[in-house]
Chains A and B, each alone.
Chain A
Amino acid sequence: MTTTTSAPAPARRQAENPLTAGQLPTWSPWAILGGALLVGAAIAALVAGASGSRFSIVATAVIGFILYLVAITVVSQLIEGGRKATDRLVTGVVTGAFLLALIPLVSLVVTVIANGMHRFDVEFFTYTMRNIVGEGGGVLHAIVGTLLVTLWAAIISVPVGIFTAIYLVEYGKGRLSQAITFFVDVMTGIPSIVAGLFAYALFALFAGEGVRSGFGGAVALSLLMIPTVVRSTEEMLKLVPNDLREASLALGVPKWLTIAKVVLPTALAGIVTGVTLAIARVIGETAPLLIIAGFTTNMNYNVFDGRMMTLPVFAYNQYVSPGVQEQAYFDRAWTAALVLILIVMLLNIVARLIAHFFAPKAGR
């Protein structure tokens, strides 16, 4: 369809190209959009003036966008015919939907950064909340808690996940592997709060009602992490060409050494990427930790005993149950959210870099 909009052939520069007849010039949608936004702004200003409220950019955009859709459809209908008009309408709607979806992302990031900067200071990263009422204090205990809980979750789920994937790809046949594949799928659907309840039910069995521990949180998180690790590792192992397994087996290398020294190194970058993304996914989990790790204002280095604060729970707790001097609590919540986003983004970037730089280069 792009060929029909190209410029007239040079030989007949003056004459009208018959192929472009009955067609809107390429700049016309932009012109109509600009006009529609101007009219939208005018209407919004009028309404704002009449009702005495503030001029609204949102109203301008909404009115302008609707006007654009109507105008482009009508103009195109008149000049280009119905089919083309429908196409232009859909193009407008699809693009509009995309821009609409960007709004929450931008708004969220801007809000978190703007509100989070207030307490993004040294004290925030070096103090706990012990004996803090009102201003001051920090998240050191929550950061330590998050790192410990996530570390233990990784210690549990990475070996289990990778070995399960190895079983599924390299050994699995028949009923057992089908069952495992099916239940890994089931696991991906477990709501995080249910994972928290499970960890509670499990630990309550040994430690009695009201049990809280960081390790319980790690168990809950690994329940969420294992299926992600299994899935991504499985994908990566399947990508390892069978040629390589055969090459190794043909050298008289036993199967387990073939897996350990040929298959795994080849898939390593992909597996590490998958694990990093899985960690990024669970590090922001709040609900299960709220249930089983609980909250505290003190530092706790022992995952096996007592309540343990984590970063997401800290943000939640500060925001929903502020004490006197509300604003200090809100500021801490936002800064904790900012730190959390930074950690998650960092993990995502690291994962992409690993995938990009350490993947084995194909030939050439």
Chain B
Amino acid sequence: MSKRIEINDLDVYYGAFKAVEGVSLEIEPRSVTAFIGPSGCGKSTVLRTINRMHEVIAGAYVDGEILLDGANLYGPGVDPVNVRRQIGMVFQRPNPFPTMTIRENVLAGVLLNNRRMSKSDQDDLVERSLRGANLWNEVKDRLGIPGSGLSGGQQQRLCIARAIAVSPDVLLMDEPCSALDPISTLAIEDLIEELKQEYTIVIVTHNMQQASRVSDKTAFFNIAGTGKPGKLIEYDETTKMFSNPSVQSTEDYVSGRFG
């Protein structure tokens, strides 16, 4: 279920603007990798290239390759739709579909793709996904209410349930807790710890403590200045990154001396 990601010499462009330059890193299966760095350093951009969501922005393209268990996501003839079915994503702000109930939201990925499914299979999938997202006990009696009726933290867990319902191999999280209160944040962090058993997780975060709490490895991105492309500065075990980084600017950043 969990796959290994290998990024080789990745450049990302928005039109003529080079947003990210020369990123290479390897992400192990069943691990949590955190992307940290100041705003605008390209960490979210790199995250979005992993399931080709950056292509939603007109004029964006990449140079380089990203391998999922050895298969190039940017190889000739690869359909981004298939890529996204294997690599799920959770966004900064919770975004449940407002016209759908909780149950329909969880099933969205499966049903939107016009796949037929028996009622009992659907029930199983809903329960499994919501349990996986630690939301089942809170919503099991009101699966029929609109997803937008939940609290912010519950909505975000609903979005996670929606993402894991299509059984992806990788789960990308783009600052999943930035719009949430501390208690909901803790709930999501606990959930990430559990999801690690089954999925490869990549998370972008602005919160140093969060990165050090949840991740196994950490990648630090930085930019030389506005208009310059973002670069991967250092990538290592999280414990090492936060205690004894090998690059000076990493130490400055994690110790809060800048950014």
* Chain A residues close to B by CB (< 8 Å): 173, 241-255, 257-258, 261-262, 265-266, 268, 360-364
* Given A253-B109, A361-B148; A173-B97 close (CB under 8 Å): no
Minimum CB distance partner of A257 in chain B: B112
- Give the shortest distance, in Å, between A77 (CB) and chain B (any CB): 57
Tell me if B30 counts as interface (CB < 8 A to partner A). Answer: no
Cross-interface CB contact of A247 among B51, B86, B91, B114, cutoff 8 Å: B91
Q: Is the CB–CB distance between B163 and A250 below 8 Å?
A: yes
Q: Which residues of B contact A249 (CB under 8 A)?
A: 53, 56, 81, 84
Judge whether A252 and B86 touch: CB under 8 Å.
yes
Q: Is there contact, CB below 8 Å, between A360 and B99?
A: yes
Q: Within the assembled complex, what's the spacing in Å between the Cα atoms of A247 and B158?
A: 12
- How many angstroms from the CA of A268 to the CA of B114 in the assembled complex? 20
Residues of A within 8 A of B159 (CB): 247
- Does B137 make an interface contact (CB < 8 A)? no
The one of A250, A251, A361 in contact with B98, judged by C-beta atoms closer than 8 angstroms, is A361
Contact, CB under 8 Å: A248 / B148: no
What residues on B are CB-neighbors of A247 within 8 Å?
A: 91, 95-97, 159, 162
CB B21 to nearest CB in A, in angstroms, measures 25
Bound-complex Cα distance A245 to B98 (A): 12
Q: Residue among A252, A261, A361 with the most chain B CB within 10 A? A: A252
A254 to chain B: closest residue by CB: B81
Complex: A251 Cα to B96 Cα, angstroms: 12
Residues of B within 8 A of A257 (CB): 112-114
By beta carbon, the residue of chain B nearest A262 is: B97
Question: What are 11 A-B pairs at a CB distance below 8 A?
Answer: A243-B91, A246-B89, A247-B159, A252-B166, A253-B112, A262-B112, A360-B146, A363-B148, A363-B149, A363-B152, A363-B155
* Minimum Cβ distance to chain B for residue A255 (Å): 8
A-B contacts besides A246-B91, A253-B84, 15 pairs, CB < 8 Å: A246-B95, A249-B53, A250-B89, A251-B84, A251-B162, A251-B166, A252-B83, A252-B85, A255-B81, A257-B113, A257-B114, A262-B112, A266-B97, A360-B99, A362-B98
Q: Which B64-92 residues have C-beta < 8 A from chain A? A: 81-86, 88-89, 91
Closest to A358 in B: B99
| B93 interfacial contact with A, CB 8 Å | yes
Q: With the chains together, A265 CA to B100 CA distance in Å? A: 9
Q: Given that A361-B148, A362-B148 are contacting pairs, would A248 and B108 also be in contact in the complex, using a CB cutoff of 8 Å?
A: yes
Q: What chain A residues lie within 8 Å of B162 (beta carbons)? A: 247, 251
* Chain B: number of interface residues, binned into ranges: 20 to 34
Q: Which residues of A contact B183 (CB under 8 A)?
A: none
Q: Cα distance A361–B95 when bound, in Å? A: 13
Contacts of B114 in A (CB 8 A): 257
Closest to B98 in A: A360
Q: Are A252 and B93 in contact (CB under 8 A)?
A: no
B58 interfacial by beta-carbon distance below 8 Å: yes
- Closest approach, in angstroms, between the C-beta of B196 and any C-beta of chain A? 20
Looking across the interface, which residue of chain A has its beta carbon closest to that of B109? A251
Residues of B within 8 A of A (CB): 51, 53, 56, 58, 81-86, 88-89, 91, 93, 95-99, 108-109, 112-114, 146, 148-149, 152, 155, 159, 162-163, 166
CA distance A148 to B104 in the complex (A): 39
The smallest beta-carbon distance between A283 and chain B, in angstroms, is: 29
* Contact among B84, B97, B98, B152 for A252, CB-based, below 8 A: B84
Bound Cα distance A361, B96 (Å): 12
| In the complex, chain B residues whose CB is within 8 Å of the CB of A242 | 56
* Neighbouring A residues of B85 by C-beta, 8 Å: 251-252
Contacting pair B112 A248 (CB below 8 A): yes
Of A251, A268, A360, A361, the residue contacting B88 (CB under 8 A) is: A251
Contacts of A243 in B (CB 8 A): 91, 93, 95
Closest to A242 in B: B56
Task: Write the chain B residue with the least CB distance to A260.
Answer: B112
Tell me the bound Cα distance from A243 to B53 in angstroms.
Answer: 12
* Cα(A173)–Cα(B172), bound, Å: 29
Cβ-neighbour of A251 out of B56, B99, B108, B146 (below 8 A): B108
Cβ–Cβ < 8 Å partners of A250 in chain B = 51, 53, 84, 88-89, 91, 163
When distances are taken between beta carbons in the complex, the residues of chain B under 8 Å from A246 are: 53, 56, 89, 91, 95
Report the separation of the CA atoms of residues A246 and B91 in the bound assembly, to the nearest whole angstrom. Answer: 9
Interface centre among A173, A249, A250, A266 (most CB of B within 10 A): A250
Query: In the complex, A257→B115 CA distance in Å?
Result: 12
Q: Smallest Cβ distance from B184 to chain A, in angstroms? A: 14
A360 contacts B148, C-beta separation under 8 Å: yes
**A251 to B164, alpha carbons, bound, how many Å?**
9
Residues of A within 8 A of B98 (CB): 244, 266, 360-362
Residues of B within 8 A of A254 (CB): 81, 113
Query: What are the 6 closest A-B residue pairs judged by CB atoms, nearest first?
Result: A252-B85, A251-B109, A243-B95, A250-B89, A360-B98, A252-B84
Complex interface: chain B residues within 8 A of A262 (CB): 97, 108, 112
